[in-house]
A and B are shown apart, each in its own frame.
Chain A
Amino acid sequence: MQEAPIGPTSRRKSKYTPRAVPVSEDGARLTTSAMIASLDAEGRDTVAAPFGNALCDLAAKRDDIVGLTADLSKYTDLHVFANAYPDRFYQMGMAEQVMISAAAGLAREGFTPFATTYAVFASRRAYDFIIMAIAEENLPVKIVCALPGLTTGYGPSHQATEDLAIFRGMPNLTIVDPCDATEITQATHAIADHPGPVYMRLLRGKVPDVLGEYGYNFQLGKAQMIHGGSDVLFISTGFMTMRALDAAKALRAEGTDCAVLHVPTLKPLDTETIRAEAAKTGRLVVTLENHTITGGLGEAVAADLMRAGIHPAFDSIALPDEFLDAGALPTLHDQYGLSVESIVDRVSSRL
């Protein structure tokens, strides 16, 4: 048998071919942006740095609160805390493994550390240290990470599309994906009170404020109905609840009545509430998450409903099991099905 020579191969995709400058409908150039503001809708209220400010409020009451970052304080809003409490802030440098290990050491000595980085670095690079130095000993370290799922146009190096799948397998770890500024503020206090380790996804900068108008109050481990509806049940987590609420409004105009069940705590999952709502007959159940279709909310809900013998018509809105493109966030959300329009189209096609 003749051996094939090992030579250069090209894995280049068509993206290497020249392109025209893209423009939006109103003629403006589209730009790649990691800015959270691009999650926002026209005219919606925003709150600046809700996590950083909540942590400062918390630190004023609790001496055990300390903050650590791996060179990303400005990009996780931890700089607000660092400025207010410089002696309780530890800059660990671009070294996620020792940041997580050191957070474990601080927790051993009685502190409640909040450690921040990007979701890709915590889930991919620091995993072994999170599971063995923190989770195995159930230490109260709070890992708070920006750029979850598809919230940046930088491409796979920064898009943590699989962080929930990675972390869901970790015993002892509580996982929170908050929707908006109101929830980030409330959840920051709630996870500090929780005696074990927590991974929380973070929206940073000017964060949209949505849930306040519904009189919402975050409770760790609880799914909550934002509003009812008789035709469709949205079960959503993270900022996709914002999208679910907007899609529900649009669908109502077309005569489809959609309920929205918000599930900010992915683990432990509030299966009691999810089962009770999904068991109400006649509704199409649609899960929505800012995460790959593999191993996130949709699969968790589907598996639990199967185990419980509840079999509604079911669909999942999530990112594909692919390395996603770089580009402008609104474009990418349209492309991968997370935009309000694409949710409305998807649901309409299933009714």
Chain B
Amino acid sequence: MSTETQHAGANVSLARRAWSIRRLALRMAEVQGQGYIGQALGVADVLAVSYFHALNYRPDEPEWEGRDRFYLSIGHYAIALYSAMIEAGILPEDELETYGMDDSRMPMSGMAAYTPGMEITGGSLGHGLGIAVGAALGLKRKKNPAFVYNMMSDGELGEGSTWEAVMSASSHQLDNLICVVDFNDQQADGPTTQALAKGDEAPKWAAFGWHAQEVDGNDLNALVAAFDTARNLREPRPRVIICKTQMCKGVPFLEEREITHFVRVEPSEWARAIAILDDAIPA
């Protein structure tokens, strides 16, 4: 399997891609006056590296057989993935303002039947990695060299089914499976590190036979290196990249707010947040 993807030589910087994803997510959330904006801002860098460095896909052919599969186990992160897919040209930008509305192709929680490019129905949590195990087995059976990526949250580390899938991927030596964990230390009732995942996660995955990396999930260079390592590794092991991210990253007044699973944003603050982004457009 090669590190070369379609993005080699692309002339738009990853910083600019991440900036666009954040800005699109803010615009979507503004429509409803709410949304999982803290997560979207936090994971934007990981998605920028995923969609504009690591993944192979065809924007106008979301079901192209040769594509890398990207599973969003965390359904409520759909706002972030829609933004990445709009930036990637998979979804049209003019549907952005339908987010969460009746008949929208962009429902609040991601579902496969609604959205081109949304591979699975997430949201029940603890499902994506197990489905990815089956897809990785299937790709191997078809001798298809594509990767399966599963993006999950740190909260899902509490689900027993996650660990069934962790063991299964290792047992089946799934070197075509890359799990991306967004570790923002926030689940519905408080910090994840005060619940079941105490923070030192990489050694657990390694103990289960995975190649495990932990990176600053808001450091684009570190993410590029981690994704390259995961793709190019020549060991018969599944790979995990645990991305430590900052909720609300890129909008300082929201970063400083008491961070919760569902960040409260006042109606006047959306324009303020977008203005902050617009004051610092990356090259």
A-side residues, CB < 8 A to B, are: 66, 88, 90, 92-93, 95, 97-98, 100-111, 113, 128-129, 132-133, 136-137
- Chain B, range 133-170, C-beta contacts under 8 Å to A: 133-139, 141-142, 148, 160-161, 164-165, 167-168
Q: A101-B130, A102-B134, A133-B120 are in contact. List 20 more A-B contacts (CB 8 A).
A: A88-B141, A90-B172, A95-B167, A97-B130, A98-B164, A98-B168, A101-B127, A101-B129, A101-B165, A102-B130, A102-B133, A105-B137, A106-B134, A108-B120, A108-B131, A108-B138, A129-B130, A132-B121, A132-B127, A136-B113
Distance in Å: Cβ of B60 to nearest Cβ of chain A:
21
Question: A132 with B124: in contact, given A106-B134, A108-B131, A111-B138 (CB under 8 Å)?
Answer: yes
Q: For the complex, is B101 an interface residue (Cβ under 8 Å from A)?
A: no
Contact between B168 and A102 (Cβ–Cβ < 8 Å)?
Answer: yes
How many Å lie between the Cα of A198 and that of B131 in the bound state? 18
A93 and B167 form a contact (CB under 8 A)? yes
Partner of A129, one of B111, B127, B137, B168: B127
Sample (30) of A-B pairs whose CB atoms are under 8 Å apart: A66-B141, A90-B137, A90-B172, A97-B130, A97-B160, A98-B167, A100-B130, A101-B127, A101-B131, A101-B133, A101-B134, A101-B161, A102-B133, A102-B168, A104-B134, A105-B130, A105-B135, A105-B138, A105-B148, A108-B119, A108-B135, A109-B142, A129-B127, A129-B130, A132-B123, A133-B120, A133-B130, A136-B113, A137-B112, A137-B113
B97-123, CB < 8 A from A? 111-113, 119-121, 123
Which residues of chain A are near B137, meaning CB under 8 Å?
90, 102, 105-106
- CA–CA, A12 to B62, complex, Å? 60
Task: Say whether, besides A93-B167, A98-B168, A105 and B124 are in contact (CB < 8 Å).
Answer: no
- The size class of the interface chain B forms with chain A is 20 to 34
Q: How far is the CA of A100 from the CA of B168 in the complex (A)?
A: 12
With beta carbons under 8 angstroms apart, the residue of A93, A105, A110, A136 that contacts B136 is: A105
Name which residue of chain B comes closest to A96, CB basis. B164
Find the B residue at minimum CB distance from A105.
B134
Residue of A90, A105, A108, A136 most packed against chain B (CB within 10 A): A105
A-B residue pairs, 8 tightest by C-beta = A105-B134, A101-B130, A109-B138, A102-B134, A105-B135, A98-B164, A97-B161, A95-B164
Total residue contacts A-B, CB cutoff 8 A: 96
Are B121 and A136 touching (Cβ within 8 A)?
Answer: yes
Which B residues are in CB contact (< 8 Å) with A66? 141
Residues of B within 8 A of A93 (CB): 167-168, 171
Is B133 a contact of A105 with CB atoms below 8 Å? yes
| B44 close to A (CB within 8 Å) | no
Chain A residues contacting B43 (CB-CB under 8 Å) are none
- Give the interface centre of A93, A100, A106 by most chain B CB atoms within 10 Å: A106
What distance in Å separates the Cβ of A126 from its nearest Cβ neighbour in chain B?
9
Closest A residue to B161 using CB positions: A97
Whether B132 sits at the interface, judged by CB under 8 Å, is: yes
Compute how far the CA of A109 lies from the CA of B142 in the bound complex, rounded to whole angstroms: 9
Please state if B168 and A95 are interface contacts (CB–CB under 8 Å).
Answer: yes
A238 to B3 alpha-carbon distance, docked (Å):
54
- Residues in B whose Cβ lies below 8 Å from that of A106: 134-135, 137-138
Are A102 and B131 in contact, with the CB atoms below 8 A?
yes
Q: Which residues of A contact B164 (CB under 8 A)?
A: 95, 97-98
Chain B residues with Cβ under 8 A from A107's Cβ? 134
Q: Which residue of A lies closest to B135 (CB)?
A: A105
Which chain B residues lie closer than 8 Å to A109 at the CB level?
134-135, 138-139, 141-142
Which residues of chain A are within 8 angstroms of B172 by Cβ–Cβ distance?
Answer: 90
Contacts of B133 in A (CB 8 A): 98, 101-102, 105
Which of B131, B142, B167 is packed against the most chain A CB atoms within 10 Å? Answer: B131
B132 touches A105 (CB 8 A): yes
Asked whether B121 lies within 8 Å of A137 as measured between CB atoms, the reply is yes
* Docked complex Cα distance between A66 and B142 (Å): 12
Contacts of A95 in B (CB 8 A): 164, 167-168
Q: In the assembled complex, which residues on chain B have CB atoms less than 8 Å from the CB atom of A111? A: 138, 141
Residues from chain A with Cβ under 8 Å of B136 in the complex: 105
Which listed residue, A98, A110, A132, A136, touches B165 by the CB 8 Å rule?
Answer: A98
Bound-state Cα–Cα, A132 to B133, Å: 16
A335 to B207, CA, bound (A): 51
